[in-house]
Amino acid sequence: MKTEREIGVGDGRTEAELEAGRRSRVLMKGNEAIAEAAIQAGCDAYFGYPITPQAELLEWMARRMLELGRVFVQAESELGAINMALGAAATGARVMVSSSSPGISLMAEAMSYMAGSGTPMVLVNIMRAGPGLGGIGPSQSDYFQATKGHGHGDYRVPVLAPASIGEAMELLASSFEMAERYRTPVMLVADGILGQAMEPVDLRFRTPERHAFDWALTGAAGRPARIIKSIDLDPEVLEKRNLDLQHKYREIARHEVRWEAWQLDDAEFAIVAYGTAARVARTAITRARERGIKVGLFRPITLWPFPERELARLSRRLGGILTVELSSGQMVEDVRLAVEGRCPVAFHGRMGGLVPTPDEVLGALKALSGHHAHTPPPRVRGYEATELFEPDYPAHSGARRGGRR
Amino acid sequence: MTLHTPGSATPATAAARLIYHKPDVLLDRSTHYCPGCGHGIVHRLLAEVLTELDLPAHTIAVAPVGCAVFAYDYLNVDFVEAPHGRAPAVATGIRRVRPEAFVLTYQGDGDLAAIGTAEIVHAAARGERITAIFVNNGIYGMTGGQMAPTTLLGQRTTSSPNGRDAALMGYPIRITEMLAQLPGVAYAARGTVADVPAIGRLKAMIKRACQIQLNSGGFAIVEALSNCPVGWGMTPLQSLEHLKGPVVDAYPLGVIVDRGLGADTHPAAGTACPAPSHPEA
Amino acid sequence: MEHSVVFSGFGGQGLLFTGQALARAAIKDGLEVFWIPSYGPEMRGGTASCTVIVGDSPIGSPVVDRFDAAVVMNLPSLRKFAPRVAGDGLLVMNASLLGDETSGRSDVRELHLACTALAAQGGDDKLVSVVALGALVARLGWVTPESVRAALREMAGHKRLANEDRWRVVEADLGAFAAGLDAGAIDAAT
């Protein structure tokens, strides 16, 4: 079994340091912990607009940022907020914006501009159920939006998906580093449960190092004027800009993929799930193992870049994969692309703000393993887009590697 | 420079007096603007004012979407491109993290008075210490001459082919007067590029709007009524006559509010909007 | 090991506060813990609930299908959560509001507490949920009473109160907790 520290989010702290951290834990609400993590990570400016279920993040920032003499602005809209962030980030400031699903839709425009112009920023989406105004319950139905098509144009944004409040705090610091290293917006997505829940967290924190930027707008004193822009009306020049972006995305895909492997060493089946769904899966896996089903968890931590190579390798020795999401089945498309038919891929999800219970997931697991053993699957409550497809070549074993690629 | 005067016994050594030159901050490039367009004049005035106030090295400017999208190709200062209409929000972000910078926005009427209404109103309401240059030519020039919120009643555009009809398309917006109501607005004025005396007065307004920012006065906006010969379907000369006639009639010139230079007047104590004063009168 | 409890009742009965006191106590005892309120429209409708999961390793599912214990402070909560208590689980019931109501289940242990009267003994009859927490701790022992008391002191200290008021609030919280602890222990013995 892998400990949490072996999964690539411990940032090289020693066991003694980690133990000291465990002793100095405090109980914090997810939204507030994420806000405080941003503060500890050196966030210079925060811009926001109230929306449930992330309002506490804005409120925490309102109090703390002003206390610290940093910048907080409650904008007139999510459009206002993200464009303020664009302006502040263009000067080299470390900037964060947060919202929830409908507000994130409004931010798509500026995200595209920031991706195109290479402006770093961290955007937090505490996801709620859609479409439209939807509801305020927890959801992962913004996976497509985050990983495939937020705004217009050929661009990608690294997307980090924590499964606990403590991990959200660690990933937030990484987000700033990634944003600045690659000059790109970075998204952190968590469903409403992680925003509203409380967990013990370690507040002693590592602030990412600051670098001088040779692109930041500071006034053209003693140097040529700088321009931050995404427009290029000459197709040749614009294609070059796009090729540079694609090169950047390949670099990100090469260096930043993160995932967790849990109980996969002897597994015949795997659940692929992220965020809250992965925690439900853990409990379901524990129950399944009590019943003799050898199953483990593959948890993507970066949704883009998706850990496709690792999953592909794993799929060679599995009898089947169950993808669990708080959606109609979005990530499952990436799972199937990675698996390429090497084993059956089933799906179980809930929508509208509902979360599958561990027993529900256990039922879907039994269906998958039962199907594999050619017994009729029991009926499972919830939305299934199972479309179990059997590969016409047998699954075979292969070496498994965990950790950061 | 030494002048050699033919026929004189000694070379004349009196230096020539330079009375007019192009400010360095205005880059030596031909612009993409159409013949007769007023944007070039506004760029020039802005360049002169920035130079006179010694601001180019401290300026961070925000470019809009619209005809002035390439403003950074002509003005040699740090520039960031804003999405359509969002320049005041982008400028707010810059202002808040760079208190020492001189922050400038340059927007057209489609950008500022249609898609960006919320951003301009709230930047003004917050009294953001920025200087907003608002070029109003009553039309969407870059996209081919469609109706703007500022298009005059009866005016034909490619999207109001029979003329702007109030019953269908509403009325022109005097957004600078609307903004002047807000106590966070230290200065709001409207000038025009229609003729040389007016250009002189417009420059004075731009200078005042910049000085107000330097003195922590709050939000300052200068609307420059401009022409669009191509979009209006006129020759440049006709367009200037039209500008001086019906356009100025619909959008009166002058200082709409001036709450003073200093930080002591911000946010302005008096919230009442003074009647427009006309320096021309 | 993982234990789950839901605290449910009317808004104003201190359920979220009490759940947090349990969560803080768990941290002091070196345990892992997860606290989640019912959030959204529910929190404006007069009923309030929160779930606390305590364990000795990182908490798995934040969604609980079978609670090890439920603290129900009014009738809608009894109706909603009694069916979701695990077999042999504990149901702490606020008899001050529920009277003779029962869950109708023979496979759960019901603990009927006159929470209002017990809270009044402690000094403030409003602290009904803290009484229930005392009984829960006495019965199940997931956390130590010392840690709960430390948590209650800490939490009152977070409130914007004058010093003497804060001291009074702490005393009342500790009194209600003690009354619940005694009631739970006596009931367990019988």
Query: Which residues of chain A lie closer than 8 angstroms to B60, CB-CB?
Result: 90-91, 217-219
Question: A45-48 and A71-74: which strand pairing?
Answer: parallel
Reported as a pLDDT band with limits 50, 70 and 90, residue B13 is low
**How many other C-beta atoms can be found within 10 angstroms of the C-beta atom of residue C58?**
17
What residue numbers bound the domain in which A75 lies?
4-209+229-255
- Could you say which of A197, A200, A284 has the minimum Cβ distance to residue C36? A197
Find how far residue B18's CA is from the centre of its chain.
27
Q: What is the pLDDT of residue B262?
A: 64
**A44 at B interface, C-beta within 8 A:** yes
Q: Above 60 in pLDDT, residue B250?
A: yes
Statement to judge: residues A203 and A335 lie in one domain = no
Q: What is the pLDDT of residue B266?
A: 39
Interface of A with C (CB under 8 A): 4, 22, 25-27, 52-53, 135-137, 164, 192-193, 196-200, 276, 279-280, 282-284, 286, 353, 355-360
Q: Above 90 in pLDDT, residue B167?
A: yes
Kindly report, residue by residue over A274-327, the tens digit of the pLDDT: 999 999 999 999 999 999 999 999 999 999 999 999 999 999 999 999 999 999
Q: Above 60 in pLDDT, residue A383?
A: no
Query: How far is CA B21 from each of CA B26, B28, B205, C133, rounded to the nearest angstrom?
Result: 11, 12, 21, 83
Structure tokens at A315: 């799929």
Q: Above 50 in pLDDT, residue A155?
A: yes
Range with the poorest average pLDDT among A197-201, A328-332, A396-400: A396-400
Instruction: Report angle CA A382, A194, A171 to the nearest 5 degrees.
Output: 120
First CA to last CA distance, chain C: 28
Statement to judge: residues A181 and A309 lie in one domain = no
Statement to judge: residues A30 and A164 lie in one domain = yes
In a domain, A271, yes or no: yes
Rounded distance between C-alpha atoms, residue C68 and residue B214, angstroms: 66
In a domain, A124, yes or no: yes
Rounded distance between C-alpha atoms, residue C79 and residue C101, angstroms: 10
Q: Residue holding tokens 């003499």?
A: A69
Q: What is the pLDDT of residue C156?
A: 81
**How many other C-beta atoms can be found within 10 angstroms of the C-beta atom of residue A149?**
11
Reported as a pLDDT band with limits 50, 70 and 90, residue B21 is confident
Per-residue pLDDT of chain C (190 residues; tens, 9 = 90+): 899 999 999 988 999 999 999 999 999 999 999 999 987 544 444 578 999 999 999 999 999 999 999 999 999 999 999 999 999 999 999 999 999 999 999 999 999 999 999 999 999 999 999 999 999 999 999 999 999 999 999 998 666 677 778 888 999 999 999 999 999 998 655 4
Query: Which residues of chain B lie closer than 8 angstroms to A109, CB-CB?
Result: 83
Q: What is the pLDDT of residue A22?
A: 59
DSSP, collapsed to helix, strand or coil, labels residue B39 as helix
In a domain, A390, yes or no: no
Q: What is the pLDDT of residue B105?
A: 98
Find how far residue A174's CA is from the centre of its chain.
12
Statement to judge: residues A99 and A175 lie in one domain = yes
**C45 at A interface, C-beta within 8 A:** no
Structure tokens at A367: 């269906």
Statement to judge: residues A205 and A290 lie in one domain = no
Query: Which residues of chain B lie closer than 8 angstroms to A225, CB-CB?
Result: 72, 76-79
Q: Above 80 in pLDDT, residue A99?
A: yes
**How many other C-beta atoms can be found within 10 angstroms of the C-beta atom of residue B163?**
14
% chain B with pLDDT above 70: 88
Residue-range domain boundaries for chain B:
39-265
Roughly what angle, to the nearest 10 degrees, separates helices A78-90 and B117-125? 70
In a domain, C23, yes or no: yes
Phi, psi of A344 (to 5 degrees): -65, 145
Q: What is the pLDDT of residue B33?
A: 95
Rounded distance between C-alpha atoms, residue B89 and residue A373, angstroms: 60
Q: What is the pLDDT of residue A322?
A: 98
B257-262: average pLDDT: 86
Whole-number mean pLDDT of chain A? 89
Query: How far is CA A212 from each of CA A92, A209, A216, B98, C130, rounded to the nearest angstrom?
Result: 8, 10, 8, 15, 54
Kindly report, residue by residue over A313-366, the tens digit of the pLDDT: 999 999 999 999 999 999 999 999 999 999 999 999 999 999 999 999 999 999
CATH number of the CATH domain containing A273: 3.40.50.920
Query: How far is CA A191 from each of CA A129, A301, A359, B122, rounded to the nearest angstrom?
Result: 9, 14, 21, 31
Q: Above 80 in pLDDT, residue A41?
A: yes
Kindly report, residue by residue over B87-139, the tens digit of the pLDDT: 999 999 999 999 999 999 999 999 999 999 999 999 999 999 999 999 999 99
- How many Cα atoms within 13 Å fall on the side-chain side of residue C32? 14
Rounded distance between C-alpha atoms, residue B154 and residue B162, angstroms: 8
Reported as a pLDDT band with limits 50, 70 and 90, residue A15 is low
Q: Above 60 in pLDDT, residue B36?
A: yes
Cβ neighbours of residue C109 under 8 Å, at least 6 residues apart?
C88, C89, C90, C91
A137-148: average pLDDT: 96
The one-letter amino acid at A150: H
Rounded distance between C-alpha atoms, residue A373 and residue B234, angstroms: 80
In a domain, A106, yes or no: yes
Q: What is the pLDDT of residue B230?
A: 95
Radius of gyration of chain A (CA): 21
Statement to judge: residues A97 and A177 lie in one domain = yes
Query: Per the omega criterion (within 30 degrees of 0), is the bond before A131 cis?
Result: yes
In a domain, C161, yes or no: yes
Do residues B82 and B63 touch, judged by C-beta distance below 8 A? Answer: yes
Residue among A264, A253, A270, A302 nearest A401 (CA) = A264
Question: A269-272 and A295-300: which strand pairing?
Answer: parallel
What residue numbers bound the domain in which C40 lies?
2-97+107-189
A156-181: average pLDDT: 96
B123 CA: distance to closest CA in chain A (Å) = 9
Rounded distance between C-alpha atoms, residue B173 and residue A132, angstroms: 31
A214-236: average pLDDT: 96
Report the predicted TM-score, pTM, of the whole model to 2 decimal places: 0.88
Q: What is the pLDDT of residue A301?
A: 98
Query: How far is CA A268 from each of CA A201, A287, A371, C145, rounded to the nearest angstrom?
Result: 34, 15, 13, 44
Phi, psi of A367 (to 5 degrees): -60, -45
CATH number of the CATH domain containing A52: 3.40.50.970
Q: Do A136 and C58 touch (CB under 8 A)?
A: no
Q: Do A220 and B59 touch (CB under 8 A)?
A: yes
Q: What is the pLDDT of residue A377?
A: 41
In a domain, A403, yes or no: no
In a domain, A151, yes or no: yes
Do residues A348 and A321 touch, judged by C-beta distance below 8 A? Answer: no
Domain spanning B39-265: CATH 3.40.50.970: yes
Q: Above 90 in pLDDT, residue A371?
A: no
CA quadruple B119, B122, B126, B130: dihedral positive or negative? Answer: positive
Statement to judge: residues A136 and A186 lie in one domain = yes
Statement to judge: residues A21 and A157 lie in one domain = yes
- Could you say which of A87, A90, A113 has the minimum Cβ distance to residue B89? A87
Split into its structural domains, chain C has a count of 1
User: Which residues lie across from B26 on neighbouring strands?
Assistant: B75
Are there at least 3 beta-carbon pairs closer than 8 Å between C and B? no
Q: Residue holding tokens 């940032």?
A: A11
Rounded distance between C-alpha atoms, residue C115 and residue C176, angstroms: 9
Rama region for A40: left / alpha / beta (φ>0; ψ in -120 to 50; rest): alpha
- Could you say which of A71, A80, A83 has the minimum Cβ distance to residue B97? A71
Statement to judge: residues A245 and A280 lie in one domain = no
Residue among A184, A204, A214, A10 nearest A95 (CA) = A184
Reported as a pLDDT band with limits 50, 70 and 90, residue B265 is very low
CATH number of the CATH domain containing C52: 3.40.920.10
In a domain, A218, yes or no: no
Do residues A327 and A140 touch, judged by C-beta distance below 8 A? Answer: yes
Q: What is the pLDDT of residue A23?
A: 66
In a domain, A219, yes or no: no
